[in-house]
Amino acid sequence: MVSKKNIRILEQRLKTKTVDGHTLIARALKRLGVTHVYGIGGTPIRETFGACVKTGIRHIGAHGQQAAAMMSMAQNYMSGKITSAVILSAGPAVTNAVTAALTAKDNHWPLILMGGRRPVAMKSMGSFQELDAARLFEPITKWSALIKSVDDIPRYLQKAFYISGTGRPGPVYIDISEDALTHVVPDENRAIKTKIHHPCPDIHPPDAAVIQKASDMLMKAGSPLMIIGKGVRWSEPYEELLSLAHDFKIPFITSPMGQGYIPDHHPMRFNAIKNFAQSKADMALVVGTRLDWTFRFGAELPREAKLIHIDLDDAGMETNRFPDAALTGDIKSVLKRLLKNMQAGNRDPSRPRRMKKWHDILREKQKTRTREMDSRIKSKSIPMSPYHLIHEIKAFLPKDAICAIDGGVILAAAQECLPTHMPGSRFTSGSNGCLGVGIPFGMGAKLACPDRPVVVLCGDAAFGFSVMEMETAARHDIPIIVVIANNNGPQGALFQETIYPKGHERSAMFLPEIHYEKIMGIFGGHMEFVTHPEQLRPAMARAASSGRPSCVNVRVDPRAPYPKNTF
């Protein structure tokens, strides 16, 4: 017989509302500002996606975990904060996202990865897809942790968002045990109480003496040069950067993804002769980037050149060139203080003459480079050159377009010829040159900015890494335009005909003239095949007006030389 007391306890428990780990994750993500989750359903996180959808979070079901994570980091980059997360099933699904985590780490982008893990109590028993993934991710994330208890879910997720999005952004990984996901606890308003704002406020203002020193260096320099990187995205110092270029006439160059933070049509931009500009500068102001391989480790700058380095933190500042003035913190706040000192300082009457002389040197060199580029663009060769393809794309694109460029030859050509006019509107293969990022980056960007056109420009080799995500785009109605520079494989015939003996099987080339666009047709999207330059703009217009995900396959000269900027 069950006692009356036990019956009352049982009745009370039945009346008590309970919540499981899946629901707690969904609630926490919603409270933290997440609008999208990316991933593929599987054990033990399948129900987590359902819980997210019930809270109003959109689930984008990708074909691959790597692509899902790439979409998420691109959405976060375009949003300027964390608005998405990735949910991974156990074992191999988690390891499939490792490349994406590395890309986020090297690019310094926020990324939230959550992986399911088999019950902790069954560790080492040979469970299906058992993996200690928290340890795997430690070297390539800002933080990696394991949630063992359902009670820890809100707290751990809040910490993950804080770590990923503050200071220098980066990826975090949370391993969530099946125990934490399936156990239920009383629903006692366990949701996160406060939202997290990104980036972290400027708690430690820079030293006034260093600000003054940097200001004096800039005002006394005879040939100053500003170098802008994608790290400025998180502080949005667009007015301050423009003031340095426009009001103080400081010429600038950018990293590939640093384009657009000052519009590329600005007269102080000298990307076309970035090597020359660095070699002649007597002072460099580096903002939101490192002097890594992108800028030849600072070796292009003269040994005697002064260096001011401004970034979110001091990581990598002293690795290749020791700065004469180092300023860390919120980049916008630092630049505001720097500009205030420059505006208040005594103006050297000889400065305008020095700046004019410096500008004349740069412009004369840039004219030479422009003439060389024009001759490449005007080439009448068929199949068309990568430069001619870029020229036609440039003529078509509106100024608010977001471009994701992915590949080898086509990426190098685009970096020379394709301008960017708005902040945060340029994606490339990033700091570690990862191929296959173009399509997922474009999809994430489109979901973050649905009212702006998104064009993915990729080589045929890069296209192959993410081709099935075109079906994802069609299924979720994400109308990006993917333009394929089809030169028959990685760098066309350049590898095949120089590395292998004549007549060797096509190890470094694909089959000729593959009609990749037909894949998009199978998925119900818009498709175009282009062989001549005059066909490209009309094809792009038809793709844009279709309102559907589109693929424009363009035949490009497989023997076109790899673009090398020696200026």
Q: Which of 364, 397, 426 lies at the terminal end of a domain, its last residue?
A: 364
Together in a domain, 305 and 160: no
Residue with tokens 């996202």: 97
Residues 276 and 316 in one domain: yes
* Residue 38 falls inside a structural domain: yes
Within this chain, do residues 94 and 159 fall inside the same structural domain, yes or no? yes
Residue 557 buriedness (CB in 10 A; 0-12 / 13-18 / 19+) = buried
Same domain membership, residue 215 and residue 286 = yes
pLDDT at residue 334, as a whole number:
95
* Residue 83 maps to a domain: yes
- Quick one: which H or E segment has residue 37? strand 36-38
Angle in degrees, CA 359, 270, 238, rounded to 5 = 100
Query: Would you say residue 9 lies in a domain?
Result: no
- Confirm whether 3 is domain-assigned: no
Task: Determine contact, residues 473/522, Cβ cutoff 8 Å.
Answer: no
Q: Which two tokens stand for residue 454?
A: 């998104």
Which backbone phi and psi does 63 adopt, to 5 degrees?
Answer: -85, -30
Contact assessment for residue 484 and residue 459, using Cβ atoms and an 8 Å cutoff:
yes
pLDDT band at 567 (very low <50, low <70, confident <90, very high): very low
Tell me phi and psi for residue 62, to 5 degrees.
-80, 175
Q: Do 235 and 314 belong together in one domain?
A: yes
Q: Which domain holds residue 453?
A: 378-555
Give a yes or no: residue 372 inside a domain.
no
Which range, of 136-150, 310-324, 410-424, 449-463, averages the lowest pLDDT?
310-324
Pair 538, 488: CB distance under 8 Å = no
Could you tell me the CA-to-CA distances from 282 to 218, 226, 251, 277, 350 in Å, in that order? 10, 11, 12, 10, 16
User: Do 99 and 124 sit in the same domain of this protein?
Assistant: yes
Residue 141 lies in a domain: yes
Alpha-carbon span 247 to 351, nearest angstrom: 13
Sheet with 84-88, edge to edge strand ranges:
58-60, 36-38, 84-88, 111-117, 171-177, 143-147
User: Over the stretch 388-442, which tens digit does the pLDDT of each residue have?
Assistant: 999 999 999 999 999 999 998 999 999 989 999 999 999 998 888 899 999 999 9
Check residue 199 and give its pLDDT: 47
Are 249 and 390 in the same domain?
Answer: no
Q: Which of 231, 232, 166, 233 is nearest to 200 (CA)?
A: 166
Domain-located, residue 193: no
Q: 437-460 pLDDT, tens per residue? A: 999 999 999 999 999 999 999 999
The Cα–Cα gap between 122 and 126 comes to: 8
Give the pairing of strands 252-254 and 224-228: parallel
- Kindly state whether residues 436 and 526 are assigned to the same domain: yes
Which residues have a Cβ under 8 Å from the Cβ of 418 and sit 6 or more positions away? 390, 393, 394, 403, 405, 457
15 band by pLDDT with thresholds 50, 70 and 90: low
Site of tokens 């995900």: 549
Q: Taking the CB of residue 212, how many other CB atoms lie within 10 A of it?
A: 15
- Answer yes or no: are the C-beta atoms of 351 and 524 closer than 8 Å: no
| CATH number of the domain where residue 96 is located | 3.40.50.970
- CA dihedral sign of residues 488, 489, 494, 496: negative
Quick check: 316 pLDDT over 80?
no
Report the CATH number at residue 256: 3.40.50.1220
Per-residue confidence (pLDDT) for residue 191, from 0 to 100: 57
pLDDT band at 566 (very low <50, low <70, confident <90, very high): very low
Q: Cα-Cα-Cα-Cα dihedral of 524, 519, 477, 540, to 10°?
A: -100
Q: Are 63 and 94 contacting, i.e. CB atoms less than 8 angstroms apart?
A: no
What's the CA angle centered on 401, arms 395 and 407, to 5 degrees?
80
Query: Does position 142 have pLDDT exceeding 90, yes or no?
Result: yes
Please name the residues in contact with 9: beta carbons below 8 A apart, sequence gap of 6 or more.
none
Tell me: do 31 and 167 sit in the same domain: yes
What percentage of the chain carries pLDDT values higher than 90?
75
Is the domain of 388 the same as that of 501? yes
- Judge if the upstream peptide bond of residue 383 is cis by omega within 30 degrees of 0: yes
Q: In terms of domains, do 359 and 496 share one?
A: no
* Chain centroid, CA 2 distance in Å: 62
State whether 289 and 265 are in the same domain: yes
Residue 74 confidence (pLDDT) above 50: yes
- What is the chain's mean pLDDT, rounded? 91
How would DSSP label each residue in 272-290? GGHHHHHHH-SEEEEESS-
Number of domain units in the chain: 3
Look at residue 564 and tell me if it is in a domain: no
Q: Residue 200 gets which letter from DSSP?
A: -
Q: Which of 335, 364, 393 is the last residue of a domain?
A: 364
pLDDT digits (tens, 9 = 90+) for 328-363: 999 999 999 999 999 987 778 899 999 999 999 999
Average pLDDT of span 477-498: 91
Q: Greatest CA span in the chain, whole angstroms?
A: 101
Distance CA 479, CA 453 (A): 8
* 163-219 pLDDT per residue, tens: 999 989 999 999 999 999 998 888 875 555 555 544 444 456 788 999 999 999 999
Domain termination site, one of 364, 393, 420:
364
Separation CA 177–CA 171 (nearest Å): 20
Q: Evaluate whether 32 touches 157 at the Cβ level (below 8 Å).
A: yes
